[in-house]
Amino acid sequence: MHEIFEHTADLGIRIRAESLSDLFAEAGCALFELIVENFQDIQPKKKQVVVIRQESIDLMMFDWLNELLYLFDAQRLILRDFSVSIQGDTLNAEVTGEPWDESLHQLDHEVKAITYHELKVRQEADGSWLSEVILDI
């Protein structure tokens, strides 16, 4: 589950999940739901492997979303499915989507950057996970 919240001139995403891997997968969905208006129409035509090594879980979230944004900016790849596994300080993921096609996909928000501002990832008392990330739009 995720939700969008206003933050000065930026947007924030608040993500909740039962496991850390699910939290990162849901964060990927939240990012691309902001970027692509018709997110549900993205087809699983191309797979990409993403590996992130980072000791800090907060910085791992930053690096993860930053890498996904890079795949969109540099390769024009829009993503919809995120299979994430986290073992210690390593995130391994297989992400699936398709190349951007302006005749098929409508942009919603232009995400310029993932920010460190108020970035957090934490485990809640009930064992679930919460993350908040501010995006520069």
Domain boundaries, the chain: 2-136
Q: What's the whole-model pTM score?
A: 0.92
Which ranges of the chain have pLDDT less than 70?
Answer: 2-9
Asked whether the beta carbons of 3 and 27 are under 8 A apart, the reply is no
Cα separation of 59 and 50, whole Å? 15
Buried b (16+ CB within 10 A) or exposed e, 59-92: ebbbbbbebbbebbeeeebbbbebebebeeeebe
Average pLDDT, the chain: 94
44 secondary structure, DSSP code: -
Domain 2-136: CATH superfamily is: Archease domain (3.55.10.10)
For tokens 């501010």, the residue is 134
The pLDDT value given to residue 1: 73
**Helices of type H across the chain:** 20-35, 57-75
The pLDDT value given to residue 109: 87
Asked whether the beta carbons of 85 and 92 are under 8 A apart, the reply is yes
Cα separation of 41 and 39, whole Å? 5
Residues 6 or more apart whose Cβ sits within 8 Å of residue 48: 71, 77, 79, 94, 95, 96, 97
